[in-house]
Amino acid sequence: MLVLKREEISVIRTLLPSNIAVHTSRTSEGTKVMAEEESAVARAIESRRREFSIGRACARSALSKLGFPPCAIPSGPDREPLWPSGIVGSITHCPGFCAAAVALQEDYVTLGIDAEVDEELPPGVLELVSVNEERKWLTNAPRRLNWGRLLFSAKESIFKAWFPLTREWLGFEDAVVTFIPDGGTFVAQLPNTLMPTRNGAWELRGRFSIANGLILTAVFIAGQR
């Protein structure tokens, strides 16, 4: 299991603006699931139940930083977290690490975060999660990084941010990601057939960090006041 120090866990904080509340956990021990959340894991195996409960505990701790009292965060029909009114948020977990990020809906339209262990993708997975354009770039990518795993993480963050906006799932082939390595950022182009836009293809921007055995990505869209 990945073991992280406190300063290592705080890396995800650097990817998000200060008015997005974040809470992380290294624990492998689950917590109590609230009654309203029980249906989401009633038939789940123990590891999934533990994963779910840690994620919800992180989410409640993040919400408390915005002044919200402890509350249930049940799952919707597509297993998405159902946040309190006026909140947008995202939960992620990988072996040895869990995080939740939440923000006021008046400040952000949507957000998505993802964490992955910094290691190569299993054989054959890259072909499933990428398109030719991305694979061509990865072949000549600068520096020696696990770019395939980073691409997977970026798309996970994109999907988590996209679903609350459209209530529709994206296929891996629907988001074409371009990395800007020196800036630690990425851009995803999505076909305008998925969502009408004024300027052609829909575009989402995100940030990434790779440190101390973790790949972390985040996507957020600020609201317009």
pLDDT at 201 over 70: no
Share of the chain above pLDDT 90, in %: 64
Helix (H) or strand (E) holding 159: helix 147-166
Residues 44 and 139 in one domain: no
Contact at 8 Å (CB) between 166 and 194?
Answer: yes
Helix (H, G, I), strand (E, B) or coil at 135: helix
pTM: 0.90
- How far, in Å, CA of 185 to CA of 101, rounded? 18
Instruction: State whether 214 and 118 are in the same domain.
Output: yes
Q: Assess whether 107 and 119 both reside in one domain.
A: no
CATH number for the domain spanning 73: value is 3.90.470.20
Residues 119 and 22 in one domain: no
- Token pair of 95 as six digits: 């072996």
Q: Which domain holds residue 206?
A: 114-222
Share of the chain above pLDDT 70, in %: 91
pLDDT digits (tens, 9 = 90+) for 79-127: 899 999 999 999 999 988 999 999 999 999 999 999 999 999 999 999 9
Do 10 and 109 share a domain, yes or no?
yes
Judge whether residue 4 has pLDDT over 60. Answer: no
Distances from the Cα of 28 to the Cα of 53, 64, 73, 94, 194, angstroms: 10, 22, 20, 11, 38
pLDDT at 71 over 80: yes
Q: What pLDDT does 31 receive?
A: 80
Any domain includes 1: no
Kindly state whether residues 24 and 75 are assigned to the same domain.
yes
For residue 198, the model assigns a pLDDT of 41
Q: Would you list the DSSP string of 107-121?
A: TEEEEEEEEEESSPP
As a whole number of angstroms, the distance between CA 163 and CA 182 comes to 29
Ranges of beta strands (E only) in 46-158 are 87-94, 97-104, 108-117
pLDDT over threshold 60, residue 47: yes
